[in-house]
Structure 1
Amino acid sequence: MVKDIGPIANPNEYETIHQFRAIDIDGNEVSLKEYSGYVCVVLNTASNNQQIKDYIKSFNVTYDIFAKVKVSCCGQHPLFSFLGRHLGNCKWNFTKYLVDKKGVPRMRFGLSNPPVDMVKDIERMMSERE
């Protein structure tokens, strides 16, 4: 679950993902400000929280995983509304949004794009000055 941390109620008024808070897979609230200075990939899946936790156990995942939220249509979470406003809404599961160090959504990759397709763009964004 992701929620805003500021007085802005309308996701159309947000400027970066750093203005949101998120609930991680274990139920802890996290400020996305913590990701300032990092290139981020925001990915949606169709699984519930427990399925995600069970699946990633065998992969020694070291990146942060967040709780499931509604990413499209009625009840769309404000973070995904924000991402969709910048780059287009999720068309299907495994839509990936690439966000720069400043928290600005820069690229969107669909289901047909495997994560390896993002490597050059991630590396380029990592080398950019803030």
Structure 2
Amino acid sequence: MTSLLHFIIGALVTALGGCYYYYTQAQNNTMSDEAKNAKSIYDFTVKDTHGNEVNLEKYKGNVVLIVNIASQCGLTKNNYQKLTELKEKYGERGLKILNFPCNQFNSQMPEGDGEAMVCHLRDAKADIGDVFQKIDVNGKEAHPLYQYLKHKQSGTLTSSIKWNFTKFLVNKEGIPVERYAPTTDPMDISKDIEKLL
């Protein structure tokens, strides 16, 4: 009985391992050359909410928290409030929060870029840091930055972003060192931020 159980467990582990291998190979094949060749987040250029190009090298030497945000999610109010608190607490010590609006999860980020986004955040009293253009974080059209982040810090079972407010913590060298679930309260990341500062 015990040997049969060991055999079944071994077969399951082998099967899952094979599935994971082919999944990661598929993920690597959908990564852009930019994401594959990147050494840090500093190798990426993104667009701010007004369409201006921003080279992420401007954040060199800072601890960075990258978040995919949404306006109409059940997690929005708490995350906006706590991200604002994080910025107030650590902003002058070198924490930068980079926010990427994303409409891929139940269309919960309907606001447009530019003034519409600025007005939304102002009305929500969300002083959450730098805000960039709306992007995809999953699928073939996922922004290369997010392809890189997911490659460096895989999630549970798959590397896909599961929902709004997934958070990536990046050290002063531009390397993603931790990934947090959407339900992780931003203030619970404080101890990890302090270690990197």
Which residue of structure 2 aligns with residue 26 of structure 1? 50
- Counting only pairs closer than 5 Å after superposition, residues 109-128 of structure 1 correspond to structure 2 as 109-126=180-197
When Rg is computed on C-alpha atoms for both structures, the one with the higher figure is 2
CA distance in 2 between counterparts of 1:93 and 1:29 reads 24
- Counting only pairs closer than 5 Å after superposition, residues 70-89 of structure 1 correspond to structure 2 as 70-88=136-154, 89=160
Give 1:62 shift.
Answer: 6.6
CA distance in 2 between counterparts of 1:43 and 1:54 reads 19
- Which consecutive unaligned segments of at least 5 residues does structure 2 have? 1-31, 71-108, 155-159
Cα distance change on mapping 1:121 and 1:51 into 2, 3 Å: farther
Give 1:51 shift.
Answer: 5.4
What is the number of residues matched between the two proteins? 119
Per-residue Cα deviation, 1:39-87 (whole angstroms, up to 9, x for no partner): 0011002324365422321436272111111101231111100000011
Which residue of structure 1 aligns with residue 62 of structure 2? 38
Structure with the bigger percentage of helix? 2
- 1:82 aligned partner, one-letter code: Y
Residue from 173, 184, 189 that aligns with 1:102: 173
- Which consecutive unaligned segments of at least 5 residues does structure 1 have? 1-7
**In percent, how many aligned pairs have the same letter?**
33
**TM-score, normalized by length of structure 1?**
0.82
* RMSD, matched Cα: 1.9
